[in-house]
Structure formats: structure tokens, C-alpha cells
């Protein structure tokens, strides 16, 4: 009977771990539907990006105040995970405050710093809720976030507030029980902690039984909440806390102005000009040019989609979004992810990936794609190394090369480039005439 909590806890841990593992493998499986792209050269540069962009959150510091607030949540979350280790080990082994005898007087220092961070996280989450709902911040008010995305953000912020509060409540009731010499708490005398001691006066009116119940409830609710949150985040925009790291590692190291080459097209053109080189007739079917669906995009584009936390810095900087065009780079990423999720769902049900729908038209319109000026503002802004632009240009390639779908003016421009070698209708013979104009 005494081992029941341990058994229950171990089962909880295993189930949560298993569900998360299944979900994570499903995401990896969807990402692998993307086309191959080699992104593991120059490991030094890549690790530098992980350190600077993901760990160091370099791009967040474009707005230092928000960066510091975000950093508090982020550091809080990472460091409090050390405390989680103790909680998990306590739960499995049936101990209480396992690290106390090991760390001795340092233990208080640790818990005190965790408590300060927990308070910091609560305060910042409240500030973020106010920013999101009470302040006129354009990127949070944009129609991209209508419905679920907005609710998702609220759930995440509230969940963090609840989890941190439970941690503080647990410590407060624990220290009270220590003072009342109640076992097992009295065996692990830690003394009062910095933040939770502020709640102690509110709890001191309760009976020992109530306090024990509060302590046990907080302990269980905190750890259960964290395990639930882990599984929630894998289904939400919050996945960025994990994927920002691989996404920084695999970010492109080429100049941002350089578009990806299409070697198949390059070869075709070389053969057209130098037919003598076209000796080996490839038996492979002609490749599809550009992207109409997620399977045509690179795996990195799909990792980008799962890494996006819908902050909207891209759209706030996008000249098209800012002038009321249909295009919003954030929505390009959200649409790509939605498409990934719906394909992933089919795979998990054992169905084929073909549901008669495509990323193009069913999720992203031609009008959106046509509005992009390829200015790279979205790429420059993204704190987690996402490129909405890369998806846009690949889909433009599909429209032009597979569907011959172009605005009439572009068709004329193509004709001019083909016949006059300039986008305007001027004869190449007039190219140097400028020097004779007055």
C-alpha cells in the first residue's frame, strides 16, 4: 500500500513519456515527407547559430524589453527543469526532497533561485497576457490569429502561471508542515524560502490535514501538469521551445539573397545550348518543378512550419502585409503547418497522404504568393531562423513552370526577356544608347 504512490507515479511518467514519444515520431515522419536538402556542412557555423540564435536569442534583442521578459520565462522554464529532476526522482523512489542531504546548505540557495524564477515567470506571463489582449500591438490583433491560434497562446500563458503557482504553493505548505513538526516534512528541514514564505501567512490558518492535502495536491498537480503540458506543447505553437534549436542548427548559411538553384533545370538548359553534352539519357521521370504541396517542399521548410510560434514579427515587417495585401508570411507558415498536421493525421490513421487537397489553392492562394517582393524582411525578423520566403518562391516556381499561371504583365515580361534579353520591349541594339542621350 505504501508503494502505491510510487507505482502510480511511475505509470504516469511512462504513459506521458510514451505519448510524447509517439507524437514526436509522428512529427518527424511528416517532416521526412519533405524533399531532401543537405544542411549539415560547416558544423562550426551551425553550432554558432545554435548558441547565438537559439540559446542566446540574438534576434529577440531587436526589442530589448520584450527580449528580457521572454528570457525570464525561458530561463525559468529551463532552470526549473532541474527541480523537476528532483521531483521525478522523489516520485519514483518514494522519497521527499532527495537532493537536500546531497546539496546541504546549497539546497536552499537552489530552491530560492527557482522560486524567484517562478515568480518572474508568473509576472511575465501576466504582462504577456496584458500585451496580447489589452495593448494595441498589431501582430497580436491580426486576423491570422483568430480562433484557435489565439486560444492556444492564452492556454500556454495560463498553464505556465498555474504550474509556477503550484510549485510555490507546494513549497509554502511544505515549510509550514516542517514548522509543525509533521513527518516526513520535519525530517527535511529546509527553512522558509524567499517567495513561498509570502504565501505562508495565508495558509497558516489551515489544519495539518488540510495543509498535507494542499502539499500533496500541489506536488501531484504540478508534475501531472508539466507532463500534460509537455504533450500539449507538441500539438501547439509552443513547440518552438524544442524546435528552435534544430531549426537554428539547420538554418541556411548561404547569403539570404541567393535563391536555391534548380540543378534539373540548369542541366536542361545546358543541354539545349550544348546538345553534345546530353549523351546520357536519364531514365528517371521528369521532376516536378517547384512546390504544390508539402511533399514538394524541403524537409527544412516543414521543420520551419513546426518551429513557428506565430509571434508575427515577420508579418509586422512584411511590406505586403503592412499595406493590406492578402499575404502574411506568418500565415504562410501556419498554413504549411496545418497542411502537415492534416497529412500527419491521415498517416496516423493508416491512410494515404493523398486527400485530393494541396497546400497551393486549398491552404495558400495565388494572390498571397503574388504579393511577395522577396525583400527578405520576414527572414531577417524571425527569431527562430524560419524562411517563409523560401516556401513562397518554390510555390511561385510551380505556378509558372508547371501551371503556366502568371499575371499577364509577367507573361509579357517573360516574352521580352526571351526575345530582347531585357524585361522591357527594347532592342538589345539600343542598350548603349544612354551615353548619347543629353
Partner 1 sequence: MQVPLLSEEIAKGNHPEFLFWVGCAGSFDQRAQSITKAFALILNKIGCSYAILGSEEMCTGDPVRRAGNEFMFQMMAYQNIQLLNAYQVKKIITTCPHCFNTLKNEYPELGGSYEVIHHATLLQQLLDEGKIVIKEGGQYKGKKITYHDSCYLGRSNGIYEAPRKVIESLDASLVEMKRCRSNGLCCGAGGAQMFKEEEKGNRRINWERTEEALHTGAEIIAGACPFCNTMLTDGIKGKEKENQVLVKDIAELIAESL
Q: How far apart are CA 201 and CA 189, in angstroms?
A: 19
For 117, residues 6+ apart whose C-beta sits below 8 A from its C-beta are 72, 75, 76, 79, 80
How many angstroms separate the CA atoms of 374 and 388, rounded? 10
- Write the burial class of residue 3 (CB in 10 Å: 0-12 exposed, 13-18 middle, 19+ buried): exposed
358 binds partner 1 (CB under 8 A): no
Decide if residue 317 touches partner 1 (CB under 8 A): yes
363 touches 331 (CB < 8 A): no
Residue 383 makes contact with partner 1 by CB under 8 A:
no
Closest distance between partner 1 and the C-beta of residue 31, in Å? 25
Query: Which one of 320, 335, 343, 391 is in contact with partner 1 (CB under 8 A)?
Result: 320
Could you tell me the smallest distance in angstroms from the CB atom of residue 358 to partner 1? 16
Cα–Cα distances in angstroms (integers) from residue 193 to residues 96, 103, 190, in the given order: 17, 16, 8
- Piece of 171-179, 275-283, 314-322, 343-351 that binds partner 1 (CB under 8 A): 314-322
**Binding to partner 1 by residue 346, rule CB under 8 A?**
no
Q: Does 32 bind partner 1 (CB under 8 A)?
A: no
* Eight-class DSSP state of 300: H
CB of 435 to partner 1, least distance (A): 5
Q: For partner 1, which is the closer residue by CB, 1 or 435?
A: 435
**What's the count of helices (H) and strands (E) in the chain, helices before strands?**
20, 0
Q: Does 323 bind partner 1 (CB under 8 A)?
A: yes
Smallest gap from Cβ 336 to partner 1, in A, equals: 18
Q: Which is nearer to partner 1, 20 or 410 (CB)?
A: 410
Residue numbers 249-308 binding partner 1 by CB under 8 A: 254-259, 261-262, 265-266, 268-270, 272-273, 289-290
Distance, in Å, from the CA atom of 381 to the CA atom of 322, rounded to the nearest integer, reads 14
**Which grid coordinates are listed for 361?**
489553392
Q: Which stretch binds partner 1 (CB under 8 A): 15-23, 157-165, 302-310, 366-374?
A: 366-374
What's the rounded Cα separation, in Å, for the pair 227 and 216? 17
Q: Which three cell numbers stand for residue 210?
A: 488540510
397 binds partner 1 (CB under 8 A): yes
Q: Pick out residues in 402-431 that bind partner 1 (CB under 8 A).
A: 406-407, 409-410, 413-414, 417-418, 421-424, 426, 428-431
Of 108, 141, 188, 325, the residue at the interface with partner 1 (CB under 8 A) is: 325
38 part of the interface to partner 1, by CB under 8 A: no
List C-alpha distances in Å: 264 to 35, 289, 343, 350: 14, 9, 28, 33
Q: How many residues bind partner 1 (CB under 8 A)?
A: 68
Rg (CA), the chain: 28
Sign of the CA dihedral with 181 first, then 187, 191, and 196 last: negative
Site for partner 1 in 53-112 (CB under 8 A): 62
How is residue 233 written as a grid cell?
506543447
By CB under 8 A, residue 399 contacts partner 1: yes
Distances (CA, A) of 18 to 13, 14, 278, 379: 8, 6, 53, 35
Chain residues in the site for partner 1 (CB under 8 A): 62, 254-259, 261-262, 265-266, 268-270, 272-273, 289-290, 317, 319-320, 322-327, 367, 370-377, 379-380, 393, 396-401, 406-407, 409-410, 413-414, 417-418, 421-424, 426, 428-437
Amino acid at each position: 500500500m505504501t508503494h502505491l504512490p510510487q507505482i502510480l507515479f511511475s505509470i504516469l511518467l511512462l504513459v506521458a513519456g510514451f505519448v510524447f514519444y509517439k507524437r514526436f515520431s509522428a512529427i518527424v515522419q511528416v517532416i521526412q515527407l519533405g524533399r531532401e536538402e543537405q544542411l549539415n556542412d560547416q558544423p562550426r557555423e551551425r553550432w554558432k547559430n545554435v548558441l547565438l540564435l537559439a540559446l542566446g536569442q540574438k534576434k529577440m534583442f531587436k526589442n530589448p524589453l520584450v527580449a528580457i521578459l521572454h528570457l525570464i520565462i525561458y530561463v525559468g522554464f529551463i532552470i526549473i527543469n532541474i527541480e523537476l529532476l528532483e521531483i521525478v526522482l522523489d516520485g519514483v523512489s518514494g522519497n521527499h526532497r532527495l537532493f537536500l542531504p546531497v546539496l546541504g546548505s546549497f539546497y536552499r540557495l537552489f530552491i530560492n533561485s527557482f522560486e524567484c524564477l517562478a515568480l518572474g515567470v508568473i509576472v511575465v506571463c501576466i504582462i504577456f497576457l496584458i500585451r496580447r489582449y489589452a495593448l494595441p500591438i498589431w501582430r497580436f490583433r491580426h486576423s491570422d490569429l483568430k480562433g484557435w491560434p489565439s486560444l492556444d497562446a492564452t492556454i500556454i500563458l495560463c498553464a505556465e502561471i498555474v504550474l509556477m503557482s503550484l510549485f510555490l504553493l507546494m513549497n509554502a505548505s511544505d515549510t509550514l508542515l516542517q514548522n509543525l513538526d509533521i513527518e516526513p516534512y520535519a525530517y527535511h528541514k529546509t527553512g522558509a524560502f524567499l517567495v513561498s514564505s509570502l504565501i505562508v501567512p495565508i495558509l497558516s490558518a489551515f489544519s495539518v490535514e488540510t495543509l498535507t492535502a494542499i502539499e500533496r495536491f500541489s506536488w501531484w498537480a504540478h508534475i501531472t501538469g508539466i507532463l500534460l503540458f509537455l504533450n500539449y506543447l507538441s500539438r501547439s505553437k509552443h513547440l518552438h521551445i524544442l524546435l528552435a534549436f534544430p531549426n537554428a542548427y539547420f538554418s541556411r548559411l548561404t547569403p539570404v539573397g541567393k535563391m536555391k538553384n534548380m540543378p534539373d533545370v540548369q542541366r536542361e538548359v545546358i543541354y539545349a545550348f550544348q546538345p553534345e553534352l546530353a549523351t546520357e539519357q536519364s531514365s528517371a521521370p521528369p521532376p516536378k518543378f517547384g512546390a504544390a504541396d508539402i511533399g514538394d517542399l524541403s524537409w527544412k521548410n516543414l521543420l520551419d512550419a513546426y518551429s513557428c510560434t506565430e509571434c508575427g514579427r515577420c508579418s509586422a515587417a512584411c511590406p505586403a502585409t503592412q499595406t493590406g495585401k492578402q499575404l502574411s508570411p506568418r500565415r504562410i507558415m501556419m498554413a504549411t503547418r496545418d497542411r502537415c498536421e492534416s497529412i500527419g493525421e491521415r498517416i496516423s490513421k493508416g491512410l494515404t497522404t493523398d486527400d485530393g487537397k494541396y497546400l497551393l489553392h486549398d491552404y495558400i492562394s495565388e494572390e498571397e504568393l503574388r504579393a511577395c517582393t522577396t525583400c527578405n524582411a520576414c527572414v531577417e525578423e524571425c527569431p527562430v531562423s524560419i524562411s517563409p520566403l523560401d516556401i513562397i518562391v518554390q510555390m511561385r516556381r510551380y505556378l509558372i513552370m508547371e501551371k503556366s499561371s502568371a499575371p499577364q504583365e509577367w507573361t509579357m515580361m517573360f516574352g521580352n526577356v526571351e526575345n530582347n534579353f531585357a524585361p522591357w520591349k527594347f532592342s538589345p541594339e539600343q542598350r548603349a544608347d544612354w551615353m548619347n542621350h543629353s
